[in-house]
């Protein structure tokens, strides 16, 4: 394939993948506890880590999106006043019992099942230090250390854990994670506190994401124009070559 066309098509592929990531971020701007993703590129099997490398050079060197990395920074906290809404101030994750093991989340929108079990919005049991949390009827209070009191008596304490290596976590749905590569959990820092009556919002900045979408679409338009121009050049060259052969 013509090298110019190859570079342009490579650029289109890269931008299509980046748009997928940005679109998913924007679709979850209102998802509680959602963590945005950022696409990262590779050029000839060498990771792009130098921010000074221009996008033009990246595309011309035949790049591709190798994957995306999760931005784990905290989203804004919103007060709800609901007793079973809890948020984490600081590093850490709540733990729920998924179908294939423990899942980890910053989405603390919990509820009590008909059987009295504390569950998340997906119906998974929320884990405390003693396992799945079972709640009797009564007024629920959650202290800063995660201790759950019902009627003035401590029932259990929310598990709040952290990871030394965030790259070992992969997304499950829109607001949960699981661990790969045998990564072990560790207790969250003592500086991390549980805030009752609040929820952590998505950390997506919609204005920033929309600006990125606009920039990518402009690049796509430019690449498409370059392809059209190149195709005309290639066609003209082919016609001239045929003309010389016939003549």
| pLDDT value for 48 | 44
To which H or E segment does residue 55 belong?
helix 55-60
Lowest mean pLDDT among 97-111, 176-190, 204-218: 176-190
| pLDDT value for 67 | 72
Average pLDDT over residues 181-195: 89
| pLDDT value for 233 | 57
| pLDDT value for 47 | 43
| Whole-number Å distance between alpha carbons of 96 and 161 | 11
Average pLDDT over residues 187-207: 97
Cα 142 to Cα 26, 82, 118, 150, 175: the distances in Å are 32, 11, 13, 9, 22
Band of residue 225 on the pLDDT scale cut at 50, 70, 90: confident
Token couple for 166? 């965030």
Lowest mean pLDDT among 14-23, 60-69, 116-125, 217-226: 60-69
**Cβ-proximal residues to 171 (8 Å cutoff; 6+ apart), any chain:** 35, 70, 177
């Amino acid at each position: 394939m013509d090298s110019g066309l190859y570079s342009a098509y490579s650029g289109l592929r890269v931008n299509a993948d980046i748009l997928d990531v940005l679109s998913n971020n924007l679709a979850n701007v209102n998802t509680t506890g959602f963590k945005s993703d950022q696409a990262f590129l590779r050029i000839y099997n060498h990771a792009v880590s130098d921010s000074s490398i221009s996008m033009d050079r990246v595309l011309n060197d035949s790049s591709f999106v190798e994957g995306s990395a999760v931005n784990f920074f905290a989203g804004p906290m919103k007060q709800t006043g609901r007793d079973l809404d809890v948020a984490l101030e600081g590093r850490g994750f709540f733990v729920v019992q998924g179908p294939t093991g423990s899942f980890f989340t910053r989405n603390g929108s919990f509820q009590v099942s008909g059987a009295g079990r504390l569950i998340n919005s997906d119906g998974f049991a929320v884990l405390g230090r003693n396992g799945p949390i079972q709640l009797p009827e009564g007024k629920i209070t959650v202290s800063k250390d995660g201790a759950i009191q019902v009627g003035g008596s401590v029932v259990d304490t929310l598990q709040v854990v952290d990871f030394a290596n965030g790259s070992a976590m992969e997304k499950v749905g829109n607001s949960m994670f699981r661990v790969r590569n045998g990564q072990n959990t560790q207790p969250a820092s003592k500086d991390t506190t549980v805030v009752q009556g609040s929820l952590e919002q998505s950390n997506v900045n919609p204005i920033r994401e929309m600006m990125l979408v606009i920039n990518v679409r402009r690049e796509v338009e430019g690449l498409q124009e370059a392809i059209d121009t190149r195709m005309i050049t290639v066609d003209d060259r082919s016609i001239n070559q045929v003309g010389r052969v016939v003549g």
